[in-house]
Structures are given as C-alpha cells and as structure tokens.
C-alpha cells in the first residue's frame, strides 16, 4: 500500500496574480516576540519561536479532496474554527491574503536512520526544516527495534525526534518474531500511537523476514487493528542477483539495478498480497517502483504507494557513456527498489491518476557523496536512499497537475487526505474543516522554488514555490527562512482500526461459513 499525504488545507486561486502576504508591523513584531526563546540559527537556518493565537487566511479557494469553494479560513490556537466567505476579524488577528494549497504529509521517511554501516545526513531538525520549506507539515518515520526490543527502539526515536520542528508520527519495523515482539506490538498500538508495522522482504541477513514471520506479523496486526506494510522485493533472489553481478565483474552502481529487476519486486508484491488475502487483513505496499508490481496491486485492489523518485525519474543517467557524468549520477540514484527504465514512471503516473495507486511518499533517506562512495568498488556497499521530502509537493504538482493528469482536488487527495484517512488521523489532518489542525501552505505556481537542503539534488527542475508554510496555526516558513524552534514539533498518535478494517469481521465469517467443514461422518458397517 502506498500512501502520500498533504494536510488537507488547500487554499488555491489559480486566476489571481502572485500571492501577496499582508502583515502589519505590529503583527510582525508580535510574531518575533511571542515564544519561549529569543530566536537564533542552526546550521545556517534562522528560526523564530513564533506562536500566533489568531490568524485569518483570506482571498483564496478552499480545496478539499471532496470539493473546492471560495472562502476564508480563520484559525485560533492552531485549530481551524471557521471556513466561510468574508470572515470579519479585529485588529489583533494576523491576516494573510493567500493563493495557496494544503500543507503536505509525507507517509514514508527515514530521518537520522542507521543503515548499511552509516547514518543518514538528515536528522529530525534538518530534514523537517527542508520539509517545511517544501510545504510538507507532517511526516511519518520508521522506528527500528534496538537489540530486538520495540520499546527500546521507540524510546531511541523519541530522543532523536526531540529536536523536531514539525508534526510527525511513527511506523514500527518488525525484524524477527517471538512472544515478546507480539506483546510489544500491543503496547505500541494501545499506548504509543503506532498503527502500522513494516516487514522487509529483502536485505537478507539484516532486515529481511521470511514468510513465517510475515504471516505471524500479519495475524497480529489484524488482531490489533494495525496496518501491515511491506517492502516487496524477493530478498533471496536479490542476494543471488548480487552474487551474479560480482561474478561477472559488474561492481559499479549499474549492478544494483541489474541485480534486482522488476520481476523480483513483482513476485514479492504478489506473494505479500496473497498472504494478506489468506490472513484477510489490509496490506500497504511501500515504494511501488515498476509496472509489474503495480499490476499485481491493481488486480488485488490493495493500497500501493509510489514514491516521487519513481514517478518523475528513470534510470537513463545511470548508463551515460561519459564517466564523470555517470559517476556523479550513479551513486545518487541508488535506492531499493531501484529507479526503473523509462516507461515505468509514466505507468505509475497513470496508475496514480486512475486510483490504482493511492498516494505519494518519498522514502527520504539521504546520504552524502562521501557516504555513497563507500561502494565505489562494490555496489552492494552503497547506502541506499534518495531525497525528496522538500521536493515532493512541487514535483507531484508539476508532474501530475500541470500535465492535466489529475485535478487540484485529486492533488489534495493523493498528497494529504488519503494518507490521513489510511493512518486514521483524518480529519485532524488532511482537511480544511472546522476542528482540523491549521496546516496550510501559500503556494505560488509561477515562480521557481529555492532550496534549503544541502543534499545533492537529482531533481533538475520543477515549477512553483512555497511562499509561506503554516503548521498548527504558526507561520513556520516565510521569506525563505525557517521561523520555528527545534523541539516545537509534536508527535501525532495514530489510533488503530481505521477504515481499511471496516467489514473484516463479516468477510471472516463468510470465509469460515464457506468451508462447509468439518463434515459429520458416520462409520458404515464393514
């Protein structure tokens, strides 16, 4: 199941000229002064511990996944309290004249992640700063167990996230199975706000689980109302493919893609779908990268999540005959499943536009050039990962809306609302409705975007620029500056038994009744 989300506050007025922001001098001073600190800078990023209690966004079109309408949005203490035309307010309210759209929710990130012998360069402040600059106001990261313990892993990630400057949630990774894991899964769901568990079908010898663990994990997820997620590649076959490449003398990054062709992603996707159907439990397939896997998802009507790199890139640069160009691109493009040849990206776009795939994540996991160079003589040692947390909103708009493949309401759905619904935090997130969190971005589609991320970027060009990002009513990104303090982010618990579990009991009962067993037999005289 693949999901990408944007907070469902979407203020859009395509017919107006460039967005303008109207701030009085007194309001601006208030923004700078309110808070617990005096501001400062981290890593070259300036921040202000700003917290405004009242905010009016006017002059735009409110776009939700179900409809768009002209209206103003009035916010108090970070919550939307009114959505209607011509709202009148007093002098104490900050007013923004806005042309914009919703804040994003990225369902798939890896910040401060320990992976393949190194640690990702983006932590929970730098990665989130880039996200806010790109219009994303919430993300869901992956917690890994520590020494086999889910609780120890959760506590470790709580510490990592203590510097957060935006809202976030957690998925949990399952790497082995015993009774303690089963018990800790219940604690994660009932006490720690985690409603999704990820199983790797690849990375043999480290993260990979076999079908036995996957089945037990799916059964436990179902009993807890939690969503089973899979990274679908055949790990045993990939391992053999890697050995084959080395034996053939293909040690360069091209060997990464050649060792894990689309058929191995499709096989694992099909197998996970069959096992989930056998257990009668929902399934979420992360980072769908190829036509073959997408078709398996379409046949099964499961939920699939393409990532933005798979939507907009292909592997053509990996095969550049110029050594310098190829060397620069190859390492940066290494992720799993790999970026596919041209054609797969267009098919994924079509699947997203027709509802076969449901949302867009990033799988954001960034490594520096020096870290990527660990595999200069052996592609198996290149840390897998690409960026995207800052670029996703712009790239989906440019790729899908500008090309008329989806409408603006569909854009809200695939970047925000659907993710919020799947992970059971709608309508707190993913909608511009009374009572929803005020996560909003002011977006100017006519200007090129500036970047704050220092990570080398493989996305060459995209349109649009986030002028202002508002998180829970706070202006956190404005004038190309971050205006929030580390530690101001908030953990968002995600409750179990979302809408994907509707009807599970009935289908279980129907299945059992279809068995027509046990048959009551009698012994005949011999």
Q: Where are the domains of the chain?
A: 103-431+442-464+480-505
CB atoms within 10 A of CB 454: 14
Please state the three-class secondary structure of 205-221 as a single string: CCCECCHHHHHHHHHHH
Please report, in tens digits, the pLDDT of each residue of the chain (526 residues total): 333 332 223 333 222 222 222 222 222 222 222 233 334 444 444 444 444 589 999 988 888 888 888 899 999 999 999 999 999 999 899 998 875 577 899 999 999 999 888 999 999 999 999 999 999 999 999 999 999 999 999 999 999 999 999 999 999 999 999 999 999 999 999 999 999 999 999 999 999 999 999 999 999 999 999 999 999 999 999 999 999 999 999 998 889 999 999 999 999 999 999 999 999 999 999 999 999 999 999 999 888 999 999 998 887 766 666 544 555 555 667 889 998 999 999 999 999 999 999 999 999 998 888 888 888 889 899 888 888 999 999 899 889 998 999 998 999 899 999 999 999 999 999 999 999 999 998 877 665 555 555 445 556 545 557 788 999 999 998 888 888 889 999 999 999 999 999 999 999 998 888 888 788 877 776 5
408 SS3 class = helix
Partnered with residue 283 across adjacent β-strands are 228
Residue 521 token pair: 């037999």
pLDDT in the model for residue 52: 56
Phi, psi angles (nearest 5°) of residue 167? -70, 145
Q: Which two tokens stand for residue 336?
A: 């799993």
In the prediction, which pLDDT does 13 show? 28
Write out the DSSP string of 56-111: EEEEEEEE-SS-EEEEEEEEETTEEEEEESS----TTSEEEE--EEEPEEEEEE-T
Question: From CA 513, how far away is CA 356, in angstroms rounded?
Answer: 31
Query: How far is the CA of 509 from the CAs of 430, 513, 515, in angstroms?
Result: 34, 6, 10
Between strands 283-288 and 227-231, the pairing is parallel
Distance CA 94, CA 53 (A): 9
Rg of the chain's alpha carbons, rounded to an integer?
24
> What's the pLDDT at 313?
85
Phi and psi at 178, nearest 5°, equal: -160, 180
Residue in this structure with the two tokens 């082995």, named with its chain if needed: 176
Residues β-bridged to residue 47: 40
SS3 label, residue 47: strand
**CB within 8 Å of 118: residues ≥ 6 apart:** 367, 371, 374, 383
pTM for this one?
0.87
Closest CA relative to residue 398, chosen from 305, 470, 468, 312: 312
Task: Judge whether 400 and 352 are in contact, CB under 8 Å.
Answer: yes
Residue 44 is predicted with a pLDDT of 41
The first and second tokens of residue 128, run together, are: 């989130």
The CATH code belonging to domain 103-431+442-464+480-505 is: 3.20.20.140
3-state secondary structure 345-405: HHHHHHHHHHCCCCCCECCECCCCHHHHHHHCCCHHHCCCCECCCCCHHHHHHHHHHCCCC
Residues 115 and 476 sit within 8 Å (Cβ to Cβ): no
Contact of 521 with 198, CB cutoff 8 Å: no
pLDDT at 76: 95
Would you state the structure tokens that stand for residue 477, as one six-digit string? 């990104």
User: Please, which residues have CB within 8 angstroms of residue 98's CB and are 6 or more apart in sequence?
Assistant: 11, 13, 19, 21, 57, 58, 59, 60, 440, 442, 468
């Amino acid at each position: 199941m693949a999901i990408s989300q944007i907070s469902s506050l979407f203020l859009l007025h395509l017919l107006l000229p460039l967005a303008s922001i109207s701030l009085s001098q007194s309001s601006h001073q208030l923004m700078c002064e309110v808070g617990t600190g005096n501001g400062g800078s981290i890593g070259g990023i300036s921040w202000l511990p700003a917290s405004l209690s009242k905010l009016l966004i006017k002059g735009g079109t409110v776009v939700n996944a179900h409809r768009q309408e002209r209206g103003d949005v009035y916010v108090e203490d970070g919550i939307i309290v009114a959505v209607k035309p011509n709202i009148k307010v007093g002098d104490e309210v900050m007013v923004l004249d806005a042309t914009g759209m919703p804040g994003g929710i990225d369902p798939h990130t890896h910040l401060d992640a320990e992976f393949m012998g190194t640690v990702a360069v983006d932590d929970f402040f730098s990665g989130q700063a880039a996200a806010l600059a790109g219009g994303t106001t919430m993300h869901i990261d992956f917690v890994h167990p520590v020494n086999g313990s889910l609780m120890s892993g959760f506590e470790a990630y709580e510490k990592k996230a203590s510097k957060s400057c935006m809202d976030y949630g957690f998925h949990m990774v399952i790497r082995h199975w015993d009774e303690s894991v089963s018990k800790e899964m219940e604690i994660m769901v009932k006490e720690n706000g985690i409603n999704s568990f990820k199983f790797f079908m690849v990375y043999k010898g480290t993260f990979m689980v076999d079908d036995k663990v996957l089945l037990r994990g799916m059964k436990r997820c179902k009993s807890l109302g939690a969503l089973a997620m899979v990274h679908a590649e055949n790990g045993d076959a990939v391992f053999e493919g890697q050995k084959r490449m080395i034996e053939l003398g293909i040690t360069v990054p091209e060997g990464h893609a050649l060792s894990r062709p689309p058929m191995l992603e499709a096989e694992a996707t099909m197998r996970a779908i069959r096992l989930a159907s056998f257990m009668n439990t929902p399934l979420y397939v992360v980072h769908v990268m190829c036509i073959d896997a997408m078709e398996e998802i379409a046949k099964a009507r499961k939920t699939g999540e393409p990532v933005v790199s798979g939507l907009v890139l292909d592997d053509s640069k990996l095969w550049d005959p110029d050594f310098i160009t190829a060397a620069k691109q190859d390492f940066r493009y290494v992720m799993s499943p790999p970026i596919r040849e041209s054609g797969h990206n267009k098919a994924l776009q079509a699947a997203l536009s027709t509802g076969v795939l449901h949302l867009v994540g990033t799988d954001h996991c960034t490594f520096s050039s020096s870290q990527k160079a660990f595999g200069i003589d052996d592609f198996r040692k290149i840390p897998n990962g690409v960026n995207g947390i800052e670029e996703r909103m712009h790239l989906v708009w440019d790729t899908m809306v500008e090309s008329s493949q989806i409408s603006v309401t569909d854009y809200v759905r695939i970047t925000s609302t659907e993710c919020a619904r799947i992970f059971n935090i709608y309508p707190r997130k993913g909608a511009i409705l009374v009572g929803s969190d005020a996560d909003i971005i002011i977006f100017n589609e006519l200007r090129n975007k500036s970047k704050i991320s220092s990570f080398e970027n493989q996305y060459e060009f995209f349109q649009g620029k986030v002028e202002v990002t508002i998180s829970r009513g706070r202006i956190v990104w404005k004038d190309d500056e971050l205006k929030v303090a580390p530690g101001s982010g908030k953990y968002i618990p995600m409750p179990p038994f979302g809408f994907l579990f509707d009807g599970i009991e009935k289908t279980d009962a129907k299945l059992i009744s279809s068995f027509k067993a046990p048959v009551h037999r009698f012994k005949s005289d011999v």
